[in-house]
Amino acid sequence: MRPSCLVGIDVGSTRIKAVVVDLEGRELAEAHVETPWHLVSSGAEAEPDDIYQAALAATRSALKLVPDLGIIGVGVTGIAETLALLGAHDQTVAPAIAWYDDRGERELAELEQQFGADRFAGLTGLPFSRTPSIVKLRWIMRHVPGAAAARCALSIPEYVACRLGGARNSELSLASRTGLFDVVGAHWATELIDWAGLPRNLFPTAISAGSPLGTVVNPPDGLERLRGASIALGGHDHLCAAVGAGVVTPREVLNSCGTAEAYVRSVSPLGRSDLAAAVKKGLCVGCHVVPGYQAILGAGPLGLVLGPIYDLLGWDVEAESGPAGATDDEASDVGTAAAAQLSGSEELRHREMVLTFRFDEATGRSSFSGIGPGVRAAQAKLLAADEMLRRSFGLYEAVEQLGGPVERVVMTGGWARLEHLERRKNERFPGACVISVREPGARGAALSAGWAAGLMPGPEAFPAPTAAGS
C-alpha cells in the first residue's frame, strides 16, 4: 500500500464530512454523517464523544471508497464556538452547546455592561452576541453541575484532533471565535477569562493551522490505515474553506453559501481601533489560517433561513435540483431558483405585491404576510431569496470597503447553485466563479495535514482547484 493521500474532516453545523484527496488536491472520495445534536428548547447541544464517533464514522465510509491507498496525514476543521470541557481525567464535564443556541441572554447583558463595545471589539475582533463561547461558558459555569471541575477547554475540531492522538493545543483562528482571545496580541485575554469565571490555564497554547500535532499511534477500530499519519488542525471552517477553495490573497474573496453564508478575505494585521471600526460595519476579524494575515469575516444566515422556506413551500425536483457536484456544505438538496418558475414580468412584479417577507435577526425567525389570491409558492421563495441577497450584498460591500478593490469572488456551497442567487451574484461580483470542489473545508483540512507533514510549505502552495465545468 503506497502512502499517497490525505484525509480531511470538517465538523459542520449540519453534517460532518470526510474527504480523501491526493497530493494534487483532487477529491477522490467523500462521505458524511449528520452532526449528532440533541435538540433542546434553546437550540441544540451534543456530547463531544458523540461528535468524535460521528467523525470516525464519516472517515471510515470515505476510506472504504479508496481501499488501496495509504494515508500520509489527517486534518480537522469545523465549527469554532462550540467547546468541549474536559476534567482532570479527560472526561467531559458539560455538554457542547451549539454556536447558534440561544442560551446566555443574561450573561450577554453582563458582558456588555462590563466591557464597552469598542473595548471588546478591539480585543477580540467580535461584536456582542450570544455566539462567542465566552457567553455560553459563563452560562455553563452557573447552570451545569460539575462544570467547575473543567481543566481544559477545546473547540470541537481541536477535541477531535486530540482524540486521534494529537497534542492538546488550541489553534489561532478557532481561538479567535471564542470571545476570550486577544487577536492583536495573539494570546488568551486574561481579563475576559476572569470575567467568565474560568481558570486562567483552561485554554491550551494557541498555534497556527498546519502545525504538526504528532501522528496517529493508536488508530480507532476500522481506521488502522491512519497509523503513522500526521495530525493537523485546519482551523475555523470558513477560513479553512477559503484556502481549500484557493482563496488566499487579499485581492480575492470567498463567498461560502451553506447553512450560514460567509465572506472571507485576507488582510494585513489591523490595530485595535481598526478592529473596532470593522465590527461596527458588521464584520468580524480574527487570526487567519494563512500565515501573516488576519481574516475579515462577514457572516449571516442563508440556508438556515431559506432551507425551511423551501422545505415548507415544496421543492420542484425537475426545476430546483442543481447541477451535478453541487452537493457540498450543508445544502445537498439545493438547486436552481424559484425564479425559473416565473416569467420575467412576474419576477419584476413580485416586489410590488402585497406579499412581504421579514427575517428577524433577534429571534432567527422569518415570516410572510399579505398572502392572498394569486400568490404562488415560487413568488414567496423568490421574495425570501431577494431579501437574503440584499443582506448578503451589504456584507460584501463592507468587506470590499475594508480590504480595497476585489479582483475575484469564488463561490462555494450548495446554495451557490440556486440559479437566481448565482445570476445576481455573477452580475454584482468581479471575476465571479463557482469552483468544482465539493467540500472546500474538508479539502483545506486535508491539505493542511500535508502542510504539517512537510509536503507543501503553506496555503499559498496548496494545489489550486478548478472552476466548475472546466
**pLDDT for the residue numbered 277:** 95
**pLDDT for the residue numbered 417:** 83
Q: In this structure, are 241 and 324 located in the same domain?
A: no
Three-state DSSP state, 77:
strand
Q: In this structure, are 241 and 312 located in the same domain?
A: no
The lowest-confidence range among 212-221, 369-378, 384-393, 440-449 is: 369-378
Q: What is the rounded CA–CA span in Å between residue 338 and residue 354?
A: 19
What is the tens place of the pLDDT at every residue in 421-435?
A: 999 999 999 999 988
Q: What is the dihedral of CA 181, 185, 190, 191, to 10 degrees?
A: -90
Question: Average pLDDT of the chain?
Answer: 89
Q: How confident is the model at residue 335 (pLDDT cuts 50, 70, 90)?
A: very low
Residues 69-94 have a mean pLDDT of: 96
| CB neighbour list of residue 393: distance below 8 Å, 6 or more residues apart | 428
**pLDDT for the residue numbered 315:** 65
When computed from its CA atoms, the radius of gyration of the chain, rounded to whole angstroms, is 21
Domain total for the chain?
Answer: 2
**pLDDT for the residue numbered 345:** 38
Nearest to 35 by CA among 25, 45, 27: 45
Q: How confident is the model at residue 403 (pLDDT cuts 50, 70, 90)?
A: confident
Q: In this structure, are 365 and 241 located in the same domain?
A: no
Instruction: With a cut of 80, say whether residue 64 has pLDDT above it.
Output: yes
Q: What is the rounded CA–CA span in Å between residue 335 and residue 317?
A: 9
Q: Which pTM value belongs to this model?
A: 0.88
Sole residue written with cell 494585521? 269
**pLDDT for the residue numbered 326:** 35
What is the tens place of the pLDDT at every residue in 436-449?
A: 888 999 999 999 99
Question: 120 near 135, Cβ under 8 Å?
Answer: no
Three-state DSSP state, 384:
helix
Q: In this structure, are 165 and 314 located in the same domain?
A: no
Given 224, 245, 266, the domain boundary residue is 245
Q: In this structure, are 201 and 315 located in the same domain?
A: no
| Domain, as residue range, for 422 | 303-434
Q: In this structure, are 73 and 174 located in the same domain?
A: yes
Q: In this structure, are 196 and 330 located in the same domain?
A: no
Q: Do the domain assignments include residue 429?
A: yes
Question: 233 near 448, Cβ under 8 Å?
Answer: yes
Q: Do the domain assignments include residue 342?
A: yes
The lowest-confidence range among 44-53, 86-95, 102-111, 317-326 is: 317-326
Q: Which residues of 319-330 are buried (b: 16+ CB within 10 A; e: fewer)?
A: ebebeeebbbbb
**pLDDT for the residue numbered 339:** 37
Q: How confident is the model at residue 362 (pLDDT cuts 50, 70, 90)?
A: confident
Ramachandran category for residue 189: left, alpha or beta (phi over 0 → left; psi -120 to 50 → alpha): beta
What is the tens place of the pLDDT at every residue in 145-195?
A: 999 999 999 999 999 999 999 999 999 999 999 999 999 999 999 999 999
Nearest to 442 by CA among 15, 17, 13: 17
Question: Is the sign of the CA dihedral 320, 321, 324, 325 positive or negative?
Answer: positive
Sole residue written with cell 436552481? 336
**pLDDT for the residue numbered 202:** 97
Q: What is the rounded CA–CA span in Å between residue 193 and residue 206?
A: 15
Q: Do the domain assignments include residue 204?
A: yes
Task: Extract the C-alpha cell encoding 327.
Answer: 452537493
**pLDDT for the residue numbered 162:** 97
DSSP string of 279-307?
HHTT-EEEE-SSTT-EEEEEEEESHHHHH
CATH number at residue 200: 3.30.420.40
Q: How confident is the model at residue 233 (pLDDT cuts 50, 70, 90)?
A: very high
**pLDDT for the residue numbered 373:** 83
Q: How confident is the model at residue 374 (pLDDT cuts 50, 70, 90)?
A: confident
Q: Do the domain assignments include residue 227?
A: yes
Q: In this structure, are 93 and 218 located in the same domain?
A: yes
Which amino acid, 55?
A
Q: In this structure, are 340 and 407 located in the same domain?
A: yes
Q: In this structure, are 336 and 221 located in the same domain?
A: no
Q: Do the domain assignments include residue 58?
A: yes
Q: What is the rounded CA–CA span in Å between residue 427 and residue 406?
A: 14
Instruction: With a cut of 90, say whether residue 341 has pLDDT above it.
Output: no
Residue 171 host element (H or E): strand 170-171
Q: Do the domain assignments include residue 375?
A: yes
Q: Do the domain assignments include residue 77?
A: yes
Q: How confident is the model at residue 263 (pLDDT cuts 50, 70, 90)?
A: very high
Q: In this structure, are 228 and 308 located in the same domain?
A: no
Q: In this structure, are 317 and 395 located in the same domain?
A: yes
* Bridge-based pairing state of the strands 284-287 and 356-360: unpaired
Q: Do the domain assignments include residue 462?
A: no
Q: How confident is the model at residue 332 (pLDDT cuts 50, 70, 90)?
A: very low
